[in-house]
Amino acid sequence: MLAKRRKARLGDALIAQSCIDHGIALLTRDGGFRAFSEAVGLDLVIWTVAD
């Protein structure tokens, strides 16, 4: 993330790195993880709730 000049909160970075290390996708409602997906190839599934 730093090489791509992106900033991330520590907790988010640890969660993303754990998913990357274990080769699993991250299921989240937090769109803030899109930066990880774009910068470092995190597999991301954005979950939305339909009304």
The tens digit of pLDDT for each residue in 1-51 reads: 655 666 778 888 899 999 999 999 999 998 888 888 888 889 999 888 776
* Digit-coded pLDDT (tens) for 5-18: 667 788 888 999 99
pTM of the shown model: 0.75
**Phi, psi at 24, each rounded to 5°:** -120, 155
For the chain, give every domain's residue range. 10-46
